[in-house]
Amino acid sequence: MGAVALNVLGLVSSAFAIPELQIYIEGATYNSTSETWATSAGSFKLWVAGNVGQKGAIDNVKLSAAVATGEFGSISLIPTMTSLLTDPSTPGAPGYNGLSVDGAVPITGDGSPLPTHGIYGPGTSFHEWSLGNFTLTDSPLGDFSVIYPSTFPKSGQINAYTVAVTGYSLVHFDAYDHYTTIQRGRGPHAGEVTFHYLKAPFSHDAEANLPAVVPEPTTILLLSSGLIGLGAWRRIRR
């Protein structure tokens, strides 16, 4: 009987294990193969959710968007709110940190690279934004994995953004950074500050799979005319 009770408690505890960081896209479908929330829309509402009630504030949260290095496009993040849950606060404007070089990997606050998990490496670059500190516990949180949760046992902060993507065929999102603890008591380590670096589990990230960008016939015609003209200009110079 005791073993059964322990097993039941284990199941309940795992069911309520809410990650410190999660990413969710409203209306997206969960891809069980890649363990990712996926959408084919060029514009969508993306959440970065912080389980602040679990271990305290999460500092300097960052969001990365991995793209193919050979593609050229744009990604915009406009702060908004969600109507699916209690979300009384609109996040501040994210700080854009730029586009990385080919093959780069996001770096967390302790200087360690984010695991590549089949996304980062040669042929891939990434955009990065700073989202600020997550300190609020004004929104209910559940486990946003596989299905939209039916229970919300934790409280934290939801940063919702309207995302618009153009020019890219695939954009993969990750969230990461750290929280801080202070050693209590009277021992030799009392007052020491420890930084705990974390990321949204790779089963709780998201991506946009978009149709490949095909040039319009008029664009192809103009490009061809330009190339022909360039060839004629070179012949004249010779």
- Tokens found for residue 86: 């209690």
Rounded distance between C-alpha atoms, residue 100 and residue 222, angstroms? 32
Tell me the pTM.
0.81
If phi > 0 it is left, if psi is from -120 to 50 it is alpha, else beta; for residue 167 that is: left
User: Rounded CA gap, 58 and 77, in Å?
Assistant: 20
Structural domain for 143, as ranges: 19-237
| More confident of the two residues 4 and 96 | 96
Residue 6 belongs to a domain: no
- Rounded distance between C-alpha atoms, residue 164 and residue 176, angstroms: 21
Q: Which residues pair with 113 in a beta bridge?
A: 107
- CA–CA distance, 238 with 21 (Å, rounded to integer): 62
Flag whether 12 is in a domain: no
Rg (CA), the chain: 22
Determine, yes or no, domain membership for 78. yes
User: Are the C-beta atoms of 162 and 80 separated by less than 8 Å?
Assistant: yes
> In the chain, how many domains are there?
1
Residue 178: pLDDT band (50, 70, 90) is confident
Say which residue, 180 or 28, is predicted with more confidence.
28
Q: What is the pLDDT of residue 88?
A: 96
Average pLDDT, the chain: 84
Per-residue tokens: 50? 């912080």
Better-scored residue on pLDDT, 193 or 107: 107
Q: Which of 9-23, 133-147, 200-214 has the lowest mean pLDDT?
A: 9-23
Tell whether 59 is covered by a domain: yes
Residue 121 placed within a domain: yes
Query: Hunting for tokens 């997206």 — which residue is that?
Result: 28
Q: Is 151 contained in some domain? A: yes
Position with higher pLDDT, 63 vs 11: 63
Give the pLDDT of residue 63. 98
- Is 13 inside any structural domain? no
Mean pLDDT (whole number) for 103-114: 90
Asked if residue 4 belongs to a domain, the reply is no
| Listed residue (41, 37, 33, 40) closest to 25, CA to CA | 37
